[in-house]
Amino acid sequence: MQSKAKQVVILGTGGTIAGTAAQAADTVGYRAAQLGIASLVEAIPGLLACPLETEQVAQVDSKDMGFSVWQALARRIAHHLAREEVAGIVVTHGTDTLEETGYLLQRLLAPAKPVVLTAAMRPASALQADGPQNLLDAVLVAREPGARGVLALLAGAVHSAAEVRKSHTYRLDAFCSGDAGPLAYVEAGQLRRLRDWPQGEALGLQAVAADVADWPWVEIVSSHSGADGRAVRALTRIGVQGLVVTATGNGTVHEDLEAALLEAQAAGVRVWRSTRCAEGRVLPRPDDMLPAAQAGTPYKARVELLLQLLSARGA
């Protein structure tokens, strides 16, 4: 029997969708995270008849996203998901780190109701702001019967948060899902689904219950022409606990950098290989000395490694 719940909770965290500029024509020199979530919702006539609640969880430019916001956001989402009358949740977020937040939330919560992250590439003050339509579409998806999982809605495309990535610096259609493609599209107020909703086993909030000051230190390093191991050796000396290397091709690493990464691994640092390629994942080989990350991008791999280290502490 499908739920008759219709309430949608919209959680604000800031970002460009809440940004403003001195001039309406300025879509670059704006300040993110200036408007509250209630004022964003009130400016969209199509939401006035919807049963909504709004809550301001944070007010940050997502380039400055931190562990404390992640922790607070995960807790508030879990709280509202447990309410019988809530059909789904929308989270307004900046585009810069949306893929990291989305991946974290899916791994922690794997919700049976939809949690839809949405954002904007232009500030709210722009002549043709994209935020209002994205927010309207996100609420539609959050109320969709049978929808589930952590999703991302941008420019009419619905992505799995575990797969989505920012793929363009400026255009409105700035997100993709690599090889997998979108889950669905919102077209003229109707949802056209292409694939099944995300599934998964939730790690649970206990995975991120520790004080954020005690979360493991995981960094990303890069393999490229002329790479060497100095940065890795320095990070190892000062206590890094995990390293994701953004490797070339199918996880190949410059020999000098690889030597330092193997030293770090021998010293107890967890080391994973990802790839700088826009699509695909690293395919492991039997003779690999450094394990391949299974998450799709180096940034998602970093979140996954962070969660694994946190979970290992609680085991």
169 is catalytic: no
Question: Across the chain, what does the average pLDDT equal?
Answer: 96
Mean pLDDT on 205-210: 97
What token pair was written down for 178?
């690599």
Q: Kindly tell me if the per-residue pLDDT of 2 is higher than 70.
A: no
Handedness of CA 297, 311, 107, 142 (dihedral sign): negative
Q: Kindly tell me if the per-residue pLDDT of 4 is higher than 90.
A: no
Q: Residues with Cβ < 8 Å from 152, sequence gap 6 or more?
A: 98, 99, 102, 116, 117, 118, 119, 158, 159, 160, 161, 164, 175
Catalytic pick from 13, 16, 95, 101?
Answer: 16
- 276-307 per-residue burial string, b: 16 or more CB within 10 A, e: under 16: ebeeebbeeeeeeebebbebbbbbbbbbbbbb
Q: Kindly tell me if the per-residue pLDDT of 75 is higher than 70.
A: yes
Q: Kindly tell me if the per-residue pLDDT of 63 is higher than 80.
A: yes
- The per-residue pLDDT for range 112-133, each reduced to its tens digit, is 999 999 999 999 999 999 999 9
Does domain 216-314 fall into CATH 3.40.630.30?
no
Q: Residues with Cβ < 8 Å from 248, sequence gap 6 or more?
A: 223, 224, 254, 275, 276
- The per-residue pLDDT for range 230-255, each reduced to its tens digit, is 999 999 999 999 999 999 999 999 99
Query: What is the reported pLDDT for 1?
Result: 36
Does domain 7-193 fall into CATH 3.40.50.1170?
yes
Could you tell me the residue ranges of all domains in the chain?
7-193, 216-314
Q: Tell me how far CA of residue 33 lies from CA of 27, 29, 153, 286, in angstroms.
A: 14, 13, 19, 48
Cα separation, 292 vs 301, whole angstroms: 10
Query: What is the reported pLDDT for 294?
Result: 87
The DSSP code for 130 is: S
Helix (H) or strand (E) holding 82: none
Query: What is the reported pLDDT for 302?
Result: 98
Question: What percent of the chain stands above pLDDT 90?
Answer: 96
Mean pLDDT on 261-286: 96
> Contact at 8 Å (CB) between 227 and 132?
no
Indicate if 216-314 has the same CATH topology as 7-193: yes
